């Protein structure tokens, strides 16, 4: 008999399969502007989409992608733009509210 009060770990990657979900998630993280959170969010989406295939689409090596998105990683702007394209989303700019 299973424990009815048992919980399972929640994994955001399970909810990032659709481009619209990815766009909403990344938009919220980018709006906050915390660079460490942006890197983590990119890593979540990359894991959800498959690191190997994504690295190829973004023009990166698999190991380079892991390094850029890992703890302490610092992806270049070129890498971020390549990843966004590979994710099927684009970066937009809007004025800040006064």
Q: Please report, for the chain, the start and end positions of each structural domain, with discontinuous segments joined by +.
A: 19-87
The DSSP string of 27-76 is HHHHHH--HHHHHHHHHHHHHHH-HHHHHHHTT--HHHHHHHHSTT----
Residue 62, Cβ neighbours under 10 Å: how many? Answer: 13
pTM (predicted TM-score): 0.84
CA distance 74 to 64: 11
pLDDT, tens digit, 9 for 90 and up, residues 36-82: 999 999 999 999 999 998 899 888 899 999 999 999 999 999 999 99
């Amino acid at each position: 008999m299973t424990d009815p009060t048992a919980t399972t770990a929640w994994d955001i990657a399970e909810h990032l399969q659709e481009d619209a979900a990815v766009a909403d998630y990344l938009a919220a993280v980018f709006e906050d502007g915390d660079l460490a959170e942006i890197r983590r969010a990119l890593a979540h989406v990359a894991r959800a989409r498959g690191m190997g295939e994504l690295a190829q689409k973004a023009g990166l090596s698999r190991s380079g992608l892991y390094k850029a998105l890992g703890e302490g990683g610092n992806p270049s702007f070129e890498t971020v733009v390549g990843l966004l394209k590979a994710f099927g989303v684009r970066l937009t700019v809007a004025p800040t509210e006064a």
